[in-house]
Amino acid sequence: MTNYGIKLVWAGWNDDPTIGFSSRAAKRWASELPAGTRMLLYETTGKPKGSKAKGTKSLVGEVEVSGTFEEGAAIRAAEEQHDAVIPVKIVRTRESVTPVPLDQVRAILHDEQWPRMGESWRPLSEAEYQALVAAMG
């Protein structure tokens, strides 16, 4: 069974080979993020140190988990904000998708409060995932 979800990413995400989680989130979700898990990436307005990127507050890509947090640590050192990284392969590049804005994501999820403070990963049903993928064109 494939797992599905939405992962919040920094402004300026552009086809990175790892996705960052806080150490707390990594511990919470590690068992639910096996290889093959599909993630839709929602770009926030938060940005990494030194970045001038402007966040779009929209879905901007799709990746598939390709390894573990332990393997991610061997690929790239953790950042201040993201203590743990997990390796991914790009399924849909930023260039290849039509960004799906926050209001449309909320409507599809039937959740006007998403994303909540401190929530960087949201599991999805297959139906929710497919509806969001369809919206990305």
Q: What is the pLDDT of residues 20-36, one digit of tens each?
A: 998 899 999 999 999 99
* pLDDT band at 129; cut points 50, 70, 90: very high
DSSP label at residue 70: H
pLDDT at 136 exceeding the cut of 90: yes
Q: What is the pLDDT of residues 50-73, one digit of tens each?
A: 888 889 999 999 999 999 998 988
- Residue ranges and CATH numbers for the domains of the chain are 4-135 (3.10.590.10)
| pTM of the predicted protein model | 0.92
Q: How confident is the model at residue 79 (pLDDT cuts 50, 70, 90)?
A: low
127 sits in which H/E element: helix 126-135
To the nearest 10°, the Cα dihedral for 18, 23, 27, 31?
Answer: 0
